[in-house]
Amino acid sequence: MVVIPTTGESATRRVRIDKVHSILSNRIKDNEEQFLVRWKGDPNTPPLSWHSISELVRCLELVQDYITVREESKAVSRKRKSPDLAFEHERRASPFDRRLGLTPSASRSPSISSLSAVPTPRTDIDVYNGVLDTDGNGFIFCRSAPGPNIATINIRSLPMEEMLRTARMSKIETANVLIRAEYVRRLGKVVGKRIHLVNVHDYTTPSLRFSYIPDYVLREGVYRADPATQEGCQKCKPDMGRSIGCEYTQKCGCLEYAAVDPVRLTPETKKQYEKALATGGSLLGFPKRFPYFTGDTKRQRTGTLVSFYLDSRHPIYECNDNCGCGPYCRNKNVQFGRQVGLEIFKTGSGRGWGLRCKEDLFMGQFVDTYRGEVITDAEATRREQAGGKLKASYLYSLDKHQESEGLAQADIYVVDGEFMGGPSKFMNHSCEPNCRQYTVSYNKHDTRIYDLAFFAIRDIPAGEELTFDYLDKEEADDEEDAPEGAVPCLCGTTKCRKWLWQ
């Protein structure tokens, strides 16, 4: 046996993820699920060793990667009708046979005489191309250690056919349970109402290669506008009028760019307004519409989007910490974050995971924002090309102001929610959606970074899947033929446009 624990046996031996390259195979040994770990090291002869799933609890991302690839290759081989590749492989000699001096025929159908002529392969070899050790904290590590007593293996032929056969027959149950438990543990740490995870279709769990984050993470080449430009409304006071914040909407600096309330325009101010619109002049001084209903309306409408904003795609400018209006300002909502409980669920309809609400939502109610890494347009293109056309996309362009501000495509930032973000990463597309994404900003001088906020656009009963239209154009193109790079839409609604991207 080549396991050499120099610092004594520890009951809680663990493999550290930063030391591992990948997981290559699985088997059941001594009633335990085990996985073959390829350690980081010399790329030509890296050490490898088998570990029980309890030793790999800090490497569940890698175990999950392995299981995903294993399931995908199983699905592919199920689809293949002929030739029987598994059988074809069986006829090849494996490098393991060569190492032991076995001929392919001997390994395939050993006769009594051949068995007595060659040594029986060792079945207790757990470490290849190296030796195992443990450090003072009980962490296992493996180092290359060539020598006559070290079992060697040709890593270019891994996983070997014997391993593949064993892996195909070995159930993976404990690992799936632990992966799910780890994901649920991480969900439990997300700020706000609880997020549940439900899968009645299979044993999969969303990728553990994902961090829940409360705010954007800005990557290289991405900058927010200077904080000094986030001046807020200076003329508003917390105790003005009905103490709802920016009552004097004509004076409110934050509402400067909000939608003008045409009902409150006089014939004269209407002319001035039309002129300001035509010349791009300031809208300060015109009466504005608050984006949200105040607390003195019906309970279910409090804080929901007023119909003007609901029906338009007008950006919303919320008050911020530098404003004079105070904490209960009616012009603050999205900045307080998600207030509703959500459920991530496996759709079972070819659309992967989806999102639904645990409670009834009212028309205009805020659901959540889309979070992720904010990257440059060039980086987004690079990531998109690396992912390939069939990979699920989590890229969301912050291009709302591109036209009005004359921003070049290269100046646009993109939110990538694949590896970091929030539960809204799981919102699927529907051609007849029940939610819509709105632009919410806290700094009118920052046209490149703003919040992508989802609101219900009709009453939604608890348990209904939350969807939005990925294109969200004012008018949809009626395209019959599949456009380049199109992914078939599986929303299943009567208004389905057939393709996800056009």
Residues that bind ligand SAM (CB under 6 A): 351-353, 392-394, 425-426, 428-429, 489-491, 500
Which CB, 46 or 421, lies closer to ligand SAM? Answer: 421
Which CB, 301 or 371, lies closer to ligand SAM? Answer: 371
Options 128, 183, 309, 370, the catalytic residue: 370
Element (H, E) at 182: helix 174-188
Which CB, 393 or 397, lies closer to ligand SAM? Answer: 393
Buried b (16+ CB within 10 A) or exposed e, 354-388: bbbbeeebbbbbbbbbbbbbbbbbebbeebeeeee
- What is the Cα–Cα distance from 426 to 422, expressed in whole angstroms? 8
- What is the Cα–Cα distance from 221 to 448, expressed in whole angstroms? 12
216 is catalytic: no
CB of 350 to ligand SAM, least distance (A): 6
Computed from CA positions of residues 335, 183, 23, 138, in that sequence, does the dihedral angle turn out positive or negative?
Answer: positive
- Residue 26: phi, psi to the nearest 5? -145, 160
CB of 392 to ligand SAM, least distance (A): 4
Which CB, 100 or 486, lies closer to ligand SAM? Answer: 486
- What is the Cα–Cα distance from 73 to 164, expressed in whole angstroms? 11
Which CB, 109 or 494, lies closer to ligand SAM? Answer: 494
CB of 497 to ligand SAM, least distance (A): 10
CB of 320 to ligand SAM, least distance (A): 28
CB of 310 to ligand SAM, least distance (A): 23
> Nearest CA to 129 among 96, 98, 161, 152?
152
Site of tokens 């032929």: 157
370 is catalytic: yes
> Nearest CA to 442 among 282, 295, 333, 366?
333
Q: Which residue is nearest to ligand SAM (CB)?
A: 352
Asked if 37 contacts 51 with a C-beta cutoff of 8 angstroms, the reply is: yes
Which residues are part of the catalytic machinery? 370, 470
